[in-house]
Amino acid sequence: MPEAPLLAVCGLDAFYGDFQALFGISMEIARGEAVAVIGANGAGKSTLLKSIAGLMRSRPDAIAFEDGAIGGMAAYAVAARGIALVPEGRGLFPSLTVEENLLIGGQLGRRGAWTLRRIYELFPVLGERRALASTALSGGQQQMAALGRALMANPKLLLCDEISLGLAPIVVRDIYARLPAILAEGTAIVLVEQDVVQALKAAQRVYCLQEGRVALAGAAKDLTREAIAAAYFGV
C-alpha cells in the first residue's frame, strides 16, 4: 500500500460487560479496496464492525480513520466522518417507507455519487416499491434497501455485516453483483461474511477472525483452502 490507509485498527479490544470479545485486533483498509472478514459464529466479526462504527466503546487511539482517531467517538460522529454500516439483520426503520429509509440514510448531506436516483438505478425494485413500508419488502429487497440507505451517506468506507444472512443463494449472487458498481465510486468495502466462498470472490484481501483474534490475513488469491480452514476452525 503506497499511501496511508483509509482505516487503521490497532490493538483493538472490545468488551460486553466482563466478557472480552476482541483481543488486540489490528487491520488496515486502503481507499477503494474490498476486504473480507470471515470467521465462525462468535469470532467477533460483528463486534469489530460495531466498534469501528462507534456503536461500541473503544480506546480513542485504537481506531484511526483518515489520520484522525475515531476510537472514542459516538456513532453519529463516526457516520459524519464517512463510515456507513449495513447492520446485521438489515435494521430498516419499520415506521418509514422504503424511500424514507433511503432519505434518512442521506440526511447528513454528504455529497457524492450516490443519490436517490442512482440507488434506484442500482436496485430498480426499490424504485418500484418506494412508497411501501419497509416491512413490506422481501428479505433480499430489505437487504438492498439497507445497502442503499448506507450508500446514501456517500461513505468512504462501507461496512457490511452478513449481507447474505438468511437469503437465497440466487439473491445473494444478485446483491454481490452490485458491489463492483459501489467500488467503482471509490468506496472501500468491508464484508463480514460466514459465506467464505462468496467473500473470497468479492474481496481482494481477507482477514480471518478466531475467538476475537486475527488468525489469518492475506490476499484472497494467495490463501489456500487448508490455511483458511485451519484459521477458521482453529484445528
Partner 1 sequence: MQWINVILQGVLVGGLYAMFAAGLSLIFGVMRLVNIAHGDLIVLAAYIALVVTQTLGIGPLAGLIVVVPVMALIGYALQWFVLNRTLGDDLLPPLLVTFGLSVIIQNGLLTLFTADSVKLQAGAIEVATIRLGEGVYVGVLPLLQFCVAVGVIAGLRWIFYRTPLGRAFRATADDPAIAQLMGLDNRHVFALAMALSLAVVAIAGVFLAVRANFDPSQGPARLIFGFEAVIIGGLGSLWGTLAGGLILGVAQAIGAHLNPGWQILAGHLAFLVVLAVRPQGLFPKVRA
Binding site for partner 1 (CB under 8 A): 53-55, 74-76, 79-80, 84-85, 87, 91, 93-96, 100, 103-105, 107-108, 133, 135-136, 149, 153
Distance CA 233, CA 235 (A): 5
* Residue placing its CB nearer to partner 1 in the complex, 21 or 85: 85
The secondary structure of residue 97, as a DSSP letter, is B
Q: Which three cell numbers stand for residue 104?
A: 434518512
Least distance between partner 1 and beta carbon 224 (Å): 36
Residue 93 or 233: the one with the smaller Cβ distance to partner 1 is 93
Name the residue nearer to partner 1 (CB basis): 96 or 223: 96
Report the nearest approach of partner 1 to the CB of residue 199 (Å): 22
Q: How far apart are CB 166 and partner 1 at their closest, in Å? A: 18
Q: Which is nearer to partner 1, 64 or 153 (CB)?
A: 153
Closest approach of partner 1 to the CB of residue 161, in Å:
11
Please report how close the Cβ of residue 111 comes to partner 1 at its closest, in angstroms: 14
C-beta closer to partner 1: residue 49 or 206: 49
Residue-by-residue DSSP string for 151-210: HTT--SEEEEE-TTTT--HHHHHHHHTTHHHHHTTT-EEEEEES-HHHHHHH-SEEEEEE
Angle made by CA atoms 113, 118, 120, in degrees to the nearest 5 = 155
Nearer to partner 1, 20 or 107 (CB): 107
CB of 107 to partner 1, least distance (A): 6
- What's the one-letter identity of residue 23? F
DSSP character string of 39-83: E-TTSSHHHHHHHHHTSS---GGGEEETTEE-TT--HHHHHHHTE
Q: How far is CA 17 from the centre of its chain?
A: 24
